[in-house]
Amino acid sequence: MTRQILLVNGPNLNMLGTREPEVYGSETLADVEALTARVAAEFGLSVRAVQSNHEGVLIDAIHAAREDCAAIIINPGGLTHTSVVLRDALSAAALPVAEVHISNVHAREEFRHHSYVSGIASCVIVGCGVQGYEFAVRRIAALLAG
């Protein structure tokens, strides 16, 4: 079995650390990727990270994950609330999926309360800041261990 996790960060997550730090914190995307890789290594897992502001790039990465990944951790950003095709790609990948949101989306605007991804996710981690990525890796590792 492959020991790699695909880490997917959607639109605007490249702006972490500078975009609305009162909502998303001061950590950068590089910090998130380093944290995820460090925690994954504790379980003998590696991480391939992708971030894009383009839906098709994310879908292509998810499709490719079927070949060499054991699971997916995704923060879909704004696509959470709008993208049926992203959900379909994740479902078609047939891998465990951890959905992560840095902020508590349920305490924010009404439109953020719905996620197209949650219904097919193995777990959903919301409102834990970037520590949510650590929780996601630990949960994915537990699922992969059986």
Catalytic residues, by residue number, are 24, 101
Q: Is 91 annotated as a binding residue?
A: no
Q: Is 112 annotated as a binding residue?
A: yes
Q: Is 102 annotated as a binding residue?
A: yes
**Residue of 113, 114, 111, 64 lying closest to 90 (CA atoms):** 64
Q: Is 31 annotated as a binding residue?
A: no
Sequence-ordered list of residues with C-beta below 8 angstroms from that of 87, at least 6 positions apart, any chain: 116, 117, 119, 120
Q: Is 138 annotated as a binding residue?
A: no
Q: Is 104 annotated as a binding residue?
A: no
- Written as one string, the DSSP assignment of 94-123 is TS-EEEEESS-GGGS-GGGG--SSGGG-SE
The one-letter amino acid at 127 = G
Binding site as annotated, residues for substrate: 75, 81, 88, 102-103, 112
